[in-house]
């Protein structure tokens, strides 16, 4: 059942049906992007590209950023205020949980910002470990929202390039090169900061 849902949410036809049913409603773009925070296997790059294609570069970017910011905030707050206590009780003696808490407390805002910029950093993992920790919620959310602005900007650039690729095939090569560079950088930074 869950694999069916994830597969369905990964299909372009799903988003086309939403667009047909909701019309050109910007709330749909925000909800789709926020949904990725709750279901991490969803392709954020595909959702942002879809929003760019439907709403144009600026509005597609803005709606995607709002959606991912809302989604991350809701997931973080859900973990922090609902899930945290039961998980702490169950996992109180697990060594990896303690190491994770130590890592969270030692990470600087600038490192968190840089790690979050890259679209290949597992934001679900960040929301989970920071939500379970005692890290200042305001600092975390402000940092994540600011970093998501740049990350969605990168993805919007990719999405706009991909949409333009139908007119100019060179743009798709540039877009793919950008994605590969971001992926490599995210792996290097994640490894250097203990996220691997």
Provide the domain limits for residue 35: 2-192
pLDDT at 87 over 80: yes
Cα angle 184, 64, 50; round to 5: 80
Comparing CA positions, the residue from 73, 47, 51 lying closest to residue 61 is 51
Residues in contact with 138: Cβ distance below 8 Å, sequence separation at least 6, in sequence order: none
Between CA 142 and CA 156 the distance in angstroms is 21
| Contacting residues for 152 by C-beta, under 8 A, at least 6 apart | 48, 61, 64, 65, 68
Percent of the chain scoring above 70 in pLDDT = 81
Q: What is the pTM of this model?
A: 0.76
- N-term to C-term CA, the chain: 30
The mean of the pLDDT values for the chain is: 81
**Long-range contacts of 1-5, Cβ-Cβ distance < 8 Å, separation of 24 or more:** 5/39
Q: What is the pLDDT of residue 53?
A: 81
pLDDT average, residue stretch 3-11: 67
- The confidence score (pLDDT) of residue 94 equals 80
What phi and psi, each to the nearest 5 degrees, are found at residue 39? -125, 85
81: three-class secondary structure by DSSP: helix
Residue 125 has pLDDT above 80, yes or no: yes
144 alpha-carbon distance from chain centroid: 10
Q: How many CB atoms lie within 10 A of CB 168?
A: 11
pLDDT in tens, 90-105: 877 788 777 777 888 8
Number of domains in the chain: 1
**How large is the average pLDDT for residues 57-66?**
92
More confident residue, 21 or 31: 31
139-195 pLDDT per residue, tens: 999 999 999 998 898 888 777 766 666 677 776 677 677 778 877 877 776 677 665
């Amino acid at each position: 059942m869950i694999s069916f849902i994830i597969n369905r949410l990964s299909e372009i036809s799903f988003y086309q049906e939403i667009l047909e049913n909701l019309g050109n409603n910007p709330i749909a773009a925000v909800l789709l992007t926020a949904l990725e925070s709750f279901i991490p296997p969803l392709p954020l790059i595909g959702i942002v590209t879809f929003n760019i294609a439907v709403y144009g570069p600026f509005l597609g970017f803005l709606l995607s950023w709002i959606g991912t910011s809302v989604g991350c905030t809701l997931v973080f707050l859900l973990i922090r205020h609902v899930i945290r206590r039961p998980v702490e009780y169950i996992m109180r003696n697990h060594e990896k949980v303690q190491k994770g808490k130590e890592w969270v407390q030692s990470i600087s805002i600038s490192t968190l910002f840089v790690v979050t910029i890259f679209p290949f950093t597992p934001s679900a993992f960040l929301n989970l470990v920071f939500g379970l920790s005692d890290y200042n919620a305001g600092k975390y959310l402000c940092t994540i929202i600011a970093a998501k602005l740049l990350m969605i900007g990168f993805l919007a650039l990719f999405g706009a390039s991909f949409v333009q690729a139908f007119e100019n095939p060179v743009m798709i090569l540039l877009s793919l090169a950008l994605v590969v560079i971001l992926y490599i950088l995210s792996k290097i930074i994640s490894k250097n900061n203990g996220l691997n």
